[in-house]
Structure 1
Amino acid sequence: MKYDVVVVGAGSMGMAAGYFLARQGKKVLLMDAFDPPHHHASHHGETRIIRYAYGEGKEYVPLALRAKALWEELELHSGQSLFLQTGVLNMGEESSRFIQTLIASAEKYQLPLEILNAEQVHARFPGITLPENYIGCFESTSGVLRCEDCIAAYRDLALAHGAELLTYHPLQDIKADDQGVTLYSEDKIIRADKVIISAGAWATKLMSKLDFALPMQPNRKTFAWFEADEEIYGQTVFPAFSFDSPQGIYYGFPSIDGAGLKMGRHDGGERQDPDQEIAEYDTLTDSVDLERFLATVMPQTQGLMYGKTCMYSMTADEHFIIDTHPQHDNVIIAAGFSGHGFKFASVIGEILSDLAAKGATEHDISLFSLQRFR
């Protein structure tokens, strides 16, 4: 069997790419080691933040705004509610690079952003207590995506448009030449004109089969839900948030549907082999750091409810990788999205479909080139 495009790794970016390609009439195979959405990778955990003013770089704002439009389109076509407009509050020292870049990006693209001092943050959101030298940047138009529902919606629509999905088929080997790409699973040999590698934590191992060292290292990460007063931390009164400090970078969500306040830490983590089982959440050791943060910044929260683990795969500069293989232009690489990538899954799916179908995209992806590592 030969396909126009095979997508290896049908998670957030891969499933979206498969949908856009199938919608164009391409013969598409989505291939995954599990059955997406699933809990083995980086896309589980129910929710992800979407924000448009961007502390990681002003270059991300046009992509975030396009992603927003595409998420709205997905809601329309799927008939599902995928976005909760809780607003997002980014907190940090006023002089921090993240906060300054975020404010500059809002000014450049005329995004609605309220700048609040510590006292004003507490008055608006009584569940938060900030140090006096910290500010909050509140973006009311942003909020939360139901990540697993988003992937499931793209899956349903991709299949409806004729895409094929091959689950529980980890890729064993891959070979590329001028005539196309050959993929080997345990029991199948598959040919394609082009392949998209969007395998998250497994991308590094897969690219090594094409003699390419992808500059990423997967880490084990944790996140947890805590008991919280719905009148203070519920989704109708409390925003999603990030907290940038010299001691650590934290993020979190209001209590959605009564599930409790969810939060995690962006930096840190331990090296993780994606083929090895991730150690389960340890309620004693994994909660210490998060509980310390809550006691200081959100002291009205209560005890731990439960925690989960996932894998983070990031580059050293934390920017994504969206490019073609240096020796094989029929192999497209999409990797390094952990930490702040899910919100862009819709537009990255569109970009990957452009690269596979047309060899180029109108979106500016120069920031994500592999050339920066040379």
Structure 2
Amino acid sequence: MNYDVIIVGAGAMGLATGYYLTQKGVQVLMLDAYDPPHEQGSHGGETRLIRHAYGEGRGYTPLAIRSQGLWDELQQLVRLPILKKTGVLSFAQTESSFIKEIQASAHDHHLPLQLYNHEQLKQRFAGLRLPKAEHMGCFEPSSGVLYVDQALRSYRALAIEAGAHLKVNHPVDHLKINKDDIIVYSRGKVFTGKQLLLATGAWQPTWFKTLNLNVKLTVKRQMIGWFEANEALFDASVFPGFTAETETGLFYGFPSIDGSGVKVGRHDYGTPVNPNHFDRDFSAADEAELRSFLTTWLPEAAGRLIKGKTCLYTMTEDEDFVIDCHPEHSHIWLAAGFSGHGFKFASGIGESLADRMVNKTTIQDLAMFSINRFIVNG
């Protein structure tokens, strides 16, 4: 069958792009090796934070603001909970470059941001224990928590309702690239598209090699855990989502939502793995790593382990994304290397990719995500 666009990988980026393409009247086929949403890739784990004042770099902030607006629109459209505005607290030592970048981002883009010194933090967030007096916090009240499965199911249903085709459990065997189209082979079937988007998450390194792209992507095993907590201190009505830059690492977490327990993960963790063959079991060492953080900083959230899961990060060398067309094949698009902080932007990235595929331009400045920054003589 022939399509305007074939999307390989119907995760967060693929489904969002597929939906926004259908809104432009584009004939879309989405292929996924599994049945999204699922727990095999990078979008597992139930929830994600969305932040606007961005410690990783203020260049992300316009995309975060646009993404927030699109998540709000999606929530209104499907009338399902997509986003819970708990606010997000980031805390670290006063001289932290991460904290300073959050403040600069808020200032440059006129975002509401509440600053707390050591004593104010303890008063405002009773569940937080600060071992040292040199810490401060930035609270962004308009940020919050995204519900992953609800978001992906919504984009999936809306895209299909608008005419997109989705084939699940359809891993792609190989591609044939022609001047004016791409032929995709999957499970004995042949599909032809005028344009192709590869958004395969942890499997993108294999496709980069196939496409002769000398760009290093490292897939890492990550872990997350949910712990019993004092609900009076950590229920989502009184405690926000959070990021914490500590001497031992960069952690993030979520309040207890509907009694689910406090969820916590470590961002700068993980060992390189093959996504097809790695230990998916949550181990005692994983629990110990997360529990150590909770015991030190949020002791009333360091209760019994409720559950633990693993997921995958796909890291670029600079931890910024790759959102671009292939340097030699302008009809092949790449969405890759989201480095553990991409989900919040999926709505905005999907809209922007759809714009670029159809109109060759977008209102979002995505230049910082160009693949050419990694390619010598690119």
Equivalent residue letter for 1:156:
A
> TM-score, normalising length from structure 2?
0.97
Residue in structure 2 matched with residue 20 of structure 1 by the alignment = 20
Residues 9 and 30 in structure 2, CA contact (< 8 A), matched pair in contact too = yes
State whether residues 174 and 210 of structure 1, in contact with CA within 8 Å, keep that contact through their aligned partners in structure 2: no
Could you tell me the TM-score, scaled by structure 1's length?
A: 0.98
Other-structure match for 1:143: 144
- Residue in 2 that maps onto 1:181: 182
In the TM superposition, 1:274-353 aligns within 5 A as 274-282=275-283, 284-301=284-301, 302-353=303-354
CA contact (8 A) 1:177 1:328 kept: no
Counterpart position of 2:65:
65
Q: Secondary structure at the match of 2:285?
A: coil
- 1:315: how far off? 0.7
| Native 8 Å contact 2:85 2:144 kept in 1 | yes
Letter in 2 for 1:297: W
Match of 2:268 in 1: 267
* Counterpart code for 1:160: E
Please state how far the C-alpha of 1:207 moved relative to its aligned partner. 2.4
Distance 1:148 1:271 in 2: 26
Separation (CA, whole Å) in 2 of partners of 1:293 and 1:102: 22
The alignment status of 1:124 with 2:114, answered yes or no, reads: no
Shift of 1:8: 0.6
Q: Distance in 2 between matches of 1:38 and 1:8?
A: 16
SS of aligned partner of 1:287:
helix
* Aligned equivalent of 2:229: 228
Deviations 1:236-267 (A, max 9, x none): 00000000123200000000111000000000
SS in 1 for 2:299: coil
Correspondence for 1:250 = 251
How does 1:2-21 map onto structure 2 within 5 Å? 2-21=2-21
Q: 1:36 maps to which residue?
A: 36
Counterpart residue identity of residue 142, structure 1:
S
Corresponding residue for residue 89 of structure 1: 89
* Deviation string, structure 1 residues 133-179 (Cα, Å, up to 9, x no partner): 11110011111010111000000100000000010011111122212
Q: Residue 363 of structure 2 aligns with which residue?
A: 362
Q: Which runs of 5+ in 2 are unaligned?
A: none
Distance 2:74 2:220 in 1: 31
1:4–1:194 CA contact under 8 A, matched in 2? yes
Q: Could you tell me how far apart the structure 1 residues matched to 2:157 and 2:21 are? A: 14
**Structure 2 residue identity aligned to 1:26:** V
Deviates more, 1:172-181 or 1:107-116: 172-181
SS of the residue aligned with 1:171?
coil
Which whole-Å deviations, capped at 9, do the CAs of 1:44-94 have from their partners, x for residues lacking one? 111100111011111111111100110011011111121111110001112
CA drift at 1:372: 1.3
2:202 touches 2:219 (CA, 8 Å); kept in 1?
Answer: yes
CA distance in 1, matches of 2:326, 2:279: 29
1:170 and 2:171 aligned:
yes
Q: How many Å apart are 1:347 and its aligned residue? A: 0.4
Q: Give the distance between the partners of 1:213 and 1:200, measured in 2 at CA.
A: 17
- Give the secondary structure class of the aligned counterpart of 1:104: helix
Q: Find the aligned partners of 2:370 and 2:97 in 1 and give their Cα distance.
A: 23
Cα contact 2:316–2:339 (8 A) shared by 1: no
Aligned AA for 1:124?
R
**Offset of 1:337 from its aligned partner?**
1.3
C-alpha distance in 1, partners of 2:17/2:158? 11
| SS of residue paired to 2:195 | strand
Which amino acid is the alignment partner of residue 303 of structure 1?
A: R
Distance in 1 (alpha carbons) for counterparts of 2:337 and 2:55: 17
Please report how far the alpha carbon of residue 362 of structure 1 lies from its aligned counterpart in structure 2 after TM superposition: 2.1
- The 8 Å contact of residues 320 and 339 in structure 2, kept in 1 or not, is answered as no
SS in 1 for 2:300: coil
What secondary structure is seen at the aligned counterpart in 2 of 1:223? strand
Q: Is the 8 A contact 2:327 2:372 kept in 1?
A: no
State the partner residue of 1:210. 211
Compute the displacement of 1:277 (Å).
4.5
Look up the match of 1:79. 79
Runs of 5+ unmatched residues, structure 1: none
CA distance in 1, matches of 2:91, 2:178: 49
CA distance in 2 between counterparts of 1:68 and 1:286 reads: 32
